[in-house]
Structure 1
Amino acid sequence: MTPELLRARIKGGEPLMDLDLRQLVLTPGDYAGAVFMRCDLRGVNLAGVDLRDSQFIRCQLQDTIWDGAQLDQCVFHGSNASGARMRAASIKEMNWSDSQAIGMDMSEAQWVSVNFVKTDMTDVCLKGASLKQVSFTECAWGKADMSGTRQEQVLYMYGDLTQALLQDAHWDGVVCVESDLSGQDFHGQTLQRCQLTECRLEGCNFQDALLEQTNFKGAFMRGAKLINARASRAMFVYADLQEAHCQGGRYTQSLWADACLDHADLSGADLTQSILHRTRCNGASFMNAELEYADFSYADVSRADFRGSRFMRTQFHRALIAGTRWGNKAGVLEKDPLLFEAEQWSAGRPTAPRAGY
């Protein structure tokens, strides 16, 4: 088929079905709006071609070349594009579903509002790419290379990223939902305003990382390294941080309610104005920590070590303190008189009957 005939059929609104187009040599031009169904395009060079608003349904696209192609609003469904090359492509509103992108080279790409659903991204290369408002739902990753990427408002849902390469990646507003990033090394990287709720982060290295306003609610972070992390206003509510290494971190105004910090090391950390209600801190170290206006109300700090810590109106209302090592307790408030009075009043208040009883 000649490029002219192909273009005529596309512009005539004719779907291209069950065609072997492996010998196709396209000339520059407008091929936008094409519909390819069950076509074989393996090895075809589509670089620089205008294919905006096109659809590739159950097509064979292995080893195709798409460098610089115009692919805005394109749809790839049930297609196999393993080994294809889509380098330095600036794309908006592209959608992939139930497809294979194994080993694709998408490095230096610039994507906005691109979505991947149940697509195999194993060993894909996105090195140096810029991703904004991109989503990946139930995708396989393997050893995908996302090093040096800039990601803004990107969504990962139910993904295993344990083997992905994320060195020097910059995350701003990235959301990971029930994803596994165990063992990842984010040393010195930026992950600010991110949502890592209920993710597996066991053994992750966040040393010297920028984590301001990042949400780790319900995350599994046993043994994680947050040494010297900058995590002001971060949220660790319900997170499991047993034996975590948080020495010297800046956690001012952070939230730790109901978190588990058993045997964690927060020595030298700055927890000024932080909320640690109901935390489990059995055997944790807060040596030489900054704890001004921090609130450990109802927490279990049994056998915790606070020697050398700086207190100022630091609340330990109804906290469990058996075996706690204190040093100088100046500034510690073991009971909040006003809160205690309110609790006494509430306990003595008669229970109002329910309507109808």
Structure 2
Amino acid sequence: MTIWDDIALSIQLDQPIRKRDLRGLFARSRDLGGAIFHEVDFSGASFVDCVLARAKFIECDLRGADFSNADLDHATFVKCDLSQARLCARNMRHDCWVQCDLSESSWEHADMQVSSIVKSSLKSARFDAGTLERCTLIDDEFDGASVAGAKLTQCVVSPADWHKVALGNMRADGVIFSNANFHGQVMSGMHLRRCSMQGADLSGVDLAGADLTESNFYRTRLRQANLSNVNAPHALLLQAQLEQVDLSGARLEGAIFQQAALRDCRLDGARLATSVWNKSKHENVSFQGADLAYARWEHVQGEHLDFSDANLDHAQFHAANLCDTNFRGASMRHIGKTDKARLAAESRTLALENE
């Protein structure tokens, strides 16, 4: 019997092929759908154009294997060595890689959907110009990986330690970057709409001109970051920490900075109409020429603020405590000041919050 006869019989009997030396196997255009391989050496094998739908590879050596244009629908890889493998398959839906070595693997131009990579090494892996839709990447290693030109949609990356990942022209929409670390990354002009960066480290990041519409930066650390001219309407910066951050010229209409802490920041010329700053803290922050119409500044604490030439029409400053603040040339029509009756009604709640 040939190896193909053995595989066909194993598929028919739903039994695995075990401990075979199939190095360099040429399986081009073969139909191996549903096959199960356990501890098989496939190093250097070619699965180009091969049908591997619902196939399972368990503890297999797949170093340098080529899956170009293969059908990997519902395929599973567990504890496999796929280092330097080519994984640019034509059908990559509902796939799973668990505890695999995927270092230096190539996923360029791959279209992966509803798939998972878990507890695997993706060191120096390349996803350039690839598409990942509704995929989960959990507890993986990414140092030296590249997602340049890739498009990620509704994915979860946790934790996203991507400070050593090549990001050039990546696009992300609705992606959760859990416990993210983008320290020092150049992300200028990047498309990151409706993404979650909750608790992320964005220190030293260059996001100038990026599209951050409706993105979540809850408790994010932004230190010495460049966010000038970002497009971030309705972004959430609740309890964010901003120090030496440049947000000049940013579009932040409806953004929420509630309980945020800002120090040595610039928001000159920023578009901040209807933004919310309640209970935020400011030290040496400039809003020169910014549009803050209808913004809410309730219970804000600040010193050395500059609102010169800003638009503060209809802004609400109930119980705001602003020291050494410059309002020269600012438009302040119909601004709301402290309402004593309301403040008295709030006293009990405020006392509990300060305990």
Determine the structure 2 residue equivalent to 1:353: none
Q: Does 1:236 align with 2:225?
A: no
CA contact (8 A) 1:209 1:229 kept: yes
Partner amino acid for 1:137?
Answer: I
Moved over 6 A (4+): none
SS in 2 for 1:19: coil
2: CA distance, partners of 1:275 / 1:109: 42
Question: Cα distance, 1:4 vs. partner?
Answer: 3.2
- Alpha-carbon shift at residue 348 of structure 1 (Å): 8.3
Distance 1:333 1:187 in 2: 36
Partner of 2:261: 260
Q: Which runs of 5+ in 2 are unaligned?
A: 350-355
Residues 132 and 154, structure 1, Cα contact 8 Å, conserved in 2: yes
SS in 1 for 2:157: strand
Partner of 2:49: 48
Alignment partners' CA distance in 2, 1:291 and 1:61? 59
Deviation readout 1:2-30 (Å, 9 max, x if unpaired): 32332232222121111111153325332
Deviation per CA, 1:178-218: give whole Å up to 9, x if none.
12111122211211111111111111111111111111111
Per-residue deviation, 1:222: 1.1
TM-score (norm 2): 0.94
Q: Secondary structure at the match of 2:50?
A: coil
User: SS of the counterpart of 2:289?
Assistant: coil
Alpha-carbon distance between aligned partners in 1 of 2:100 and 2:164, rounded to the nearest angstrom: 21
1:345 positional shift: 3.7
Asked if 1:124 is matched to 2:125, the reply is: yes
CA apart distance, 1:346: 5.2
1:331 aligns with 2:333: yes
TM-score calculated relative to the size of structure 1: 0.93
Q: Contact 2:47–2:65 at 8 Å: present in 1 too?
A: yes
Secondary structure of 1:261 counterpart: strand
Question: Percent sequence identity over matched residues?
Answer: 23
Distance 2:185 2:130 in 1: 19
Q: Is the 8 A contact 2:241 2:262 kept in 1?
A: yes
Aligned partners of 2:225 and 2:84: how far apart in 1?
Answer: 35
Which secondary structure does the structure 2 equivalent of 1:36 belong to?
strand
Query: Whole-Å Cα distance in 1 between the matches of residues 148 and 90 of structure 2?
Result: 17
Structure whose residues are more often strand by fraction? 2
Aligned-pair CA distance for 1:159: 2.7
- Asked if 1:344 corresponds to 2:344, the answer is yes
Aligned AA (1:67): S
Question: How many pairs are equivalent?
Answer: 347
Q: Distance in 2 between matches of 1:171 and 1:244?
A: 23
CA RMSD of aligned residues (A): 1.6
1:332 to partner: Cα distance: 6.9
3-state SS in 2 of match to 1:264: strand
Contact kept? 1:315, 1:332, Cα under 8 Å: no
Report deviation, 1:279.
1.2
